Amino acid sequence: MRGGIAVAGVGLAGCGEAPGWSETEIMAAAARNALADAGLTTREVDGLAVASVNIFLVGLSVAEQLGIRPKFTDSTCVGGSSFVGHLIPAALALQAGLCDVLLVTYGSNQRTGVGRAEAGKYKMALDPQPFEHPYKPFNPLTSYALAAARHMHQYGTTREQLAGVAVAARKWAQLNPEAFVREPLTIADVLGSRMVSDPLTVRDSCLVTDGGGALVLVRAERARDFPKPPAYLLGVGAAHWHRQISAMPDLTVTAATESGRRAFGMAGLKPADVDVVELYDAFTINTILFLEDLGFCAKGEGGAFVASGRIAPGGALPVNTNGGGLSCVHPGMYGIFTIIEAVRQLRAEAGARQVKGAKVALAHGNGGVLSSQITALFGTRDVL
């Protein structure tokens, strides 16, 4: 699968606030923007991958909205990692000749439409988790706070170190004109903000925004036929070990230990080869856990690693260069935005936040409550 497919186009739509737009309209707008980026129209699309937690038969709805008739459709949903996960069946379908142009798209109006709290109550009613629901957790935040508290207890991680993740993300966002929140943020600001679920404050938590993203995938032999430099898929790996946080084998170790190993193995690369890292930072603890589990630092050293300034602009390991879910955009599920930013960095299209000479980018998706973990590595033609 290494180097077999490439991203030919990416697009965003409605990021921040999109009042009056439905989820499918945001998905369709992002899709059209990605197709335009690739120099294509909906007429060329014959494959579709899409996920939603709110729309029943989402693949049918989005195809209808776009006016396409796909030969291949994947609407697997494993939470926010779904869109990184879609790379696996997309690569298989493209390489098998089941389709030629595959569109991956997502959109949500959770900020101006149905709010997260209301949607969360609806989902809990449909999917009660038997061992947790009776205690009325404020999920997903309660689950991530549990993991953060355990990491602090076990490894001495501090709230200041967690806050450092949010501050680094904000510094990147300040270089990104598309980021929803760009005001200055300090460690003291994070520590002094409203506590939501101890030890996580509101500034340790992702944004609530509208927004959509899309990417266009093609076989590698066609990749250079398009207007923009392609980003080749070098490796991808997936893993999940639990659904409820109470079933997580170890609150400080995620299945990213497996997904990352599989992705790096397929790519023939190691963490030291990565120039830019895009992680699903729903909460500050995510970034610390994933840096450890993907091999960028040892287990238990993530707090000190982020506190050193290594992941901020000017640091040795650029992480979440668009501002991440903490400061750029987070419309319910964030995974697709990790890929879009990775591609933009490899194309050298990131403006003031551009990582000089970036040739290898990692995009990592997280679904559920540290549940589904999917890692993808992309590269320029130079690393094929």
pLDDT value at position 137?
84
Say if residues 371 and 241 touch (Cβ distance below 8 Å): yes
Q: Token pair of 14, please? A: 């409605």
DSSP for 153-197 reads HHH---HHHHHHHHHHHHHHHTT-TT-S--S---HHHHHHSPEEE
pLDDT value at position 258?
98
pLDDT value at position 135?
82
CA dist., res. 162 & res. 192, Å (int): 13
CA dist., res. 246 & res. 251, Å (int): 9
pLDDT value at position 131?
80
CATH 1.50.10.10 assigned to domain 5-112+207-383? The reply is no
Q: Where are the domains of the chain?
A: 5-112+207-383
CA dist., res. 323 & res. 164, Å (int): 13
Find the helix or strand (DSSP H, E) in which 130 lies. none
* Gyration radius (Cα) of the chain, Å: 19
Mean pLDDT for each 10-residue chunk of the chain (384 residues)?
Answer: 97 97 97 98 98 94 97 97 98 98 97 68 58 83 97 98 98 98 98 97 97 98 94 98 94 98 98 98 98 98 95 98 98 97 98 98 98 98 95
Instruction: Provide the whole-model pTM.
Output: 0.96
CA dist., res. 341 & res. 15, Å (int): 14
- Alpha helix (H) residue ranges in the chain: 23-37, 58-66, 82-85, 87-95, 116-126, 141-155, 159-173, 187-192, 256-267, 284-293, 302-307, 324-327, 335-346
Burial code of 309-335, b = ≥16 C-beta within 10 A, e = fewer?
Answer: ebbbeeeebbbbbbbbbbbbbbbbbbb
